[in-house]
A and B are shown apart, each in its own frame.
Chain A
Amino acid sequence: MSEFNPNILAFCCNWCSYAGADLAGVNRLQMPPNVNVVRVMCSASVKPEYVFKAISQGIDGVLVLGCHIGDCHYLTGNHRTAKRIPLTAKILEKVGIDPRRVQLDWVSAAEGEKFQQVVTQFVDDIRSLGPNPMKEVRF
């Protein structure tokens, strides 16, 4: 039986995390290829709606990466994210989806290595959680 390869969506903010991901790529850091990066202008533009839609359509995990608190290009954008995403995970838990499938982390433009660590760790976590149960469900 082949190993479960999770399908992961990573929302990266344009100003920090996407540049961090870029740096990780330029430095040829090895990381699992399961992550699909979506560039957003700010981590605050990742509305819970998008996370819910992704999860309900069978994405195994959603990773939201933004600038460190205080470094937001839009000053308080990531404050919003810092409250929203944990709430999103909580609501998913209420309907029976493991809250660890949604993770929030801060990666700055200089932290290519941190990006590698976060992604590797997240992929491992999702591997141990198994596939998203919503994949099997047809509404």
Chain B
Amino acid sequence: MRLAFEERGADYLLAIKEAHGQAAPVLLRKGDDAGTMRFDVPYQMTMILTNISRFIKEGRIAVVARRCDERAIAELVKRDLLNHDNLVVIGLACSEEQIRECRCTDPCPSSADIGHCAAPAKEDQAASSIQSMPLPDRLDYWIDQFRKCNKCFGCTLNCPVCFCDDCLLEEKTFTPEKGIPPGLAFHLIRAVHLADKCVECGECERSCPSDIPLLALRKMVNQDMKRMFNYTSGDPERRSPLLTTLEGDPMEDDGDAC
């Protein structure tokens, strides 16, 4: 991927490299030894990009991004957390297996520089089976799932679009200081915060040690956003409907962006 530097004129490259038998994200400068690059690991580059872009003031960063990374970057650019001019996005197409794992309906990056676009997955089975349950059964199902939560905050920390410095969920008003599980409100608050920005990358579900089907919940909420406001998160043009008036004008203040 030397092409990132020569063709696209980037100063840094953020990619995943093989290190000690593991895959790890690295930031490479021009002329650094790339070693073995890995493109088969689903890894949220956007998180790392947001963190390092605070320290890299000059130069453009090339990032190897999947479609979900691309959409997450669009969300963050809209909220002025990333500067699009400093970024070079190198599209990485997901493999069929990864698409199946994420139940991804939009897997193809705008320019597939690495790999070939595979067909998108069909509708999420888990989400539609939960949707078809009657309300009391659905509540029982989710309570069983949320009971497994051990408040590790993995879903929050690994989420590419969770950007608040002070997370509301760390306040004891919403999450009890002592004891697990944190209750129903914890997951619902996350659901509503991500409603207008979740890009369905599936990182919350992957990082959950208790295998709570969080991606199914995200997908259901995103379907609602689509139905209610005709809004898909990751759209680089449109402002989130929750931050505009009913006529679609931007609000005077963005207040709590989260």
Which residues of A line the B interface, CB within 8 A?
47-49, 52-53, 55-57, 69, 75-76, 79-80, 82-84, 86-88, 90-98, 133-134, 137, 139
Mask of B136-149 contacts with A, CB within 8 angstroms, 1/0: 11111111001100
Which B residues, 220 to 253, have Cβ-Cβ distances below 8 Å to chain A? 220-221, 224-225, 228-229, 241-242, 244-246, 251-252
Asked if A83 and B246 sit within 8 Å, CB to CB, the answer is yes
Q: Tell me if B185 is interfacial: C-beta within 8 Å of chain A.
A: yes
Asked if B246 and A91 sit within 8 Å, CB to CB, the answer is no
Is B28 an interface residue, CB under 8 A from the partner? Answer: no
In the complex, what distance in Å separates the CA atom of A98 from the CA atom of B168? 25
A82: contacting residue among B147, B168, B246, CB under 8 A: B246
Q: How far is the CB of B239 from chain A (nearest CB, A)?
A: 12
Query: Closest chain B residue to A97 by CB distance?
Result: B139
Q: Do B229 and A91 touch across chains, with their CB atoms under 8 A apart?
A: no
Instruction: State which size class the interface on B falls in.
Output: 35 or more
Check B195 against A87 for contact (C-beta < 8 Å): yes
Secondary structure at the B interface, as helix, strand, loop or mixed, is helix
Known: A56-B185, A84-B242, A139-B183. A95 touches B138 (CB 8 A): yes
Total number of residue pairs linking A and B with CB closer than 8 Å: 99
Chain B contacts to A: CB under 8 angstroms:
130, 133, 135-143, 146-147, 168, 173-174, 181-185, 187-189, 191-192, 195, 217, 220-221, 224-225, 228-229, 241-242, 244-246, 251-252, 256
Please, how many angstroms separate the alpha-carbon atoms of A117 and B258 in the complex? 35
Beta-carbon contact of A139 and B147 below 8 Å: yes
- A sample of 30 inter-chain contacts (CB < 8 A) reads A48-B192, A49-B174, A49-B192, A52-B189, A52-B192, A53-B174, A56-B183, A57-B185, A69-B246, A76-B245, A76-B251, A76-B252, A79-B245, A82-B246, A83-B242, A87-B228, A87-B242, A88-B192, A90-B228, A91-B192, A94-B217, A95-B139, A96-B133, A96-B136, A96-B137, A133-B136, A134-B184, A139-B146, A139-B181, A139-B183
